[in-house]
Structure 1
Amino acid sequence: MYNDKVMKSALESMMFVWGEPLKVKDAAEVLDADKKVVKDLFLDLQREYAMMGRGIRIREVDGAFQFVTHAENEIFIEKLCTPVKVKKLSQAALEVLAIIAYRQPVTKGEIDSIRGIKSERVIDGLMSKDLVDVAGRSEGVGRPLLYKTTGEFLKKFGFASIKDLPDITEFDDIEEYDEETPHEQLSINFEGDADSEDK
């Protein structure tokens, strides 16, 4: 078995080459090491990069890890890179995404019932952006499709897991939240760069 220094170095190289979030399971197989040991090494690296104030940070995404740019450096990255228009989600898309995020797995009928309007085209749009996916079928009448958020959703909004969503104890009462409804919170996060930390 390799020592910690060698494995940390290997994890850095793998994250750099892989590009996408690197799963602990996959990294452990490459290193022929225990998954818990590898995850602890990922977390150690994450802390080290943050403590050193480096421009590159390590972010956890649904049990995987990837390199991201430090959020405070966004202004410099924007100046360096050719401006690219960031497509923002429409109000309808944010509403549907919030419902799915907080109620998942959820059927289209349930989404329509909450919104009071058909949501099929909006769901299709979210699926084309890889923010929403099919989670299976309901046991209800007609066995309608169930929808859930994806790993791409977590990456876009800067969540390590779905448990990081803002706590809403009663989803049916979200209209009472005048300043911070779930879709408004998602809107704030979505407007940032998908490759920046804490966006």
Structure 2
Amino acid sequence: MTKLEATLEAILFAVGDAVPVARLAAAADAEPAQVAHALHTLAAHYDQSGSGIQLVRMEDKVQLCTRPAYAAAVRRATESRRPPALSAAALEVLTVVAYRQPVTRAYIEQLRGVDSSGTVASLLDKGLIEACGHLDVPGRPTLFRTTDVFLRTFGISGLSELPNLPELTEGEQLVLKETE
């Protein structure tokens, strides 16, 4: 392991959360290209050695995480319970936010046709979505987007990895246009 790889590993271990690659480069006093190469080497090392940890990429950030195969043992050791599964309503709201972000609660409610304030609050509490500003209209409603926790939870590196939405029928397109 090179000194840069060891430095990046130490930083990621100590921080314990996702760190932007640019911040890692600044902290390690290295060029972003060098850091990218060292991170690739670290990820390959963890994968090839059968390590209990893995390097997870989330858009422009990276984090050291427990490999999913060992999650149950970690939960037992830390005496933490498995988080409850998301309800159908939560999955609907999360889908709207993921594919249409940033969105307001009113937009979510228009698409779903029901009050979504409780579901939005629950997703905020779970850290799957976050406020990311306000819409520049009267009342300045809050805008929401997905978080790094969302990416980690669904095992994707970025929103570009979301599956494509199915094509809408003409009737569905008309209904969607009426709600926008």
Distance 1:140 1:25 in 2: 34
Where 2:55 maps in the other structure, the secondary structure is strand
CA pair 80-128 structure 1, distance change in 2 beyond 3 A: closer
Distance 1:49 1:111 in 2: 40
Q: CA RMSD in A?
A: 2.4
How far the C-alpha of 1:128 sits from its partner, in A, is 2.0
Task: Give the structure 2 partner of residue 179 of structure 1.
Answer: none
Structure 2 counterpart of 1:121, from 118, 123, 128: 118
Task: Give the structure 2 partner of residue 61 of structure 1.
Answer: 58
For structure 2, which runs of at least 5 residues remain unmatched after alignment?
Answer: 173-180
How far the C-alpha of 1:17 sits from its partner, in A, is 1.3
Where 2:96 maps in the other structure, the secondary structure is helix
For structure 1, which runs of at least 5 residues remain unmatched after alignment?
Answer: 177-199
Structure 2 counterpart of 1:30, from 24, 27, 31: 27
Task: Give the structure 2 partner of residue 9 of structure 1.
Answer: 6
Distance 2:35 2:119 in 1: 39
Q: Is residue 157 from structure 1 mapped to residue 154 from structure 2 by the alignment? A: yes
What letter is aligned with 1:94?
L
What letter is aligned with 1:138?
L
Structure 1 counterpart of 2:128, from 118, 128, 131: 131
What letter is aligned with 2:9?
E
Distance 2:73 2:82 in 1: 17
CA pair 169-135 structure 1, distance change in 2 beyond 3 A: farther
- Percent identity over paired residues: 31
Q: Which runs of 4+ in 1 moved over 6 A?
A: none
How far the C-alpha of 1:27 sits from its partner, in A, is 1.3
Q: Is residue 96 from structure 1 mapped to residue 104 from structure 2 by the alignment? A: no
CA pair 31-161 structure 1, distance change in 2 beyond 3 A: same
Distance 1:25 1:80 in 2: 34
Where 2:2 maps in the other structure, the secondary structure is helix
- In terms of mean alpha carbon deviation, does 68-77 or 39-48 score higher? 68-77
Matched residue pairs, number?
A: 170
How far the C-alpha of 1:22 sits from its partner, in A, is 2.4
How far the C-alpha of 1:79 sits from its partner, in A, is 5.0
How far the C-alpha of 1:134 sits from its partner, in A, is 2.1
How far the C-alpha of 1:80 sits from its partner, in A, is 4.2
Distance 1:52 1:116 in 2: 50
Which structure has more relative contact order (CA 8 Å, sep 6+)? It is 1
How far the C-alpha of 1:81 sits from its partner, in A, is 4.5
Provide Cα deviations, 1:117-149, integer angstroms capped at 9, x if missing partner: 111221122112221122323345654332211
How far the C-alpha of 1:73 sits from its partner, in A, is 2.9
CA pair 135-79 structure 1, distance change in 2 beyond 3 A: closer
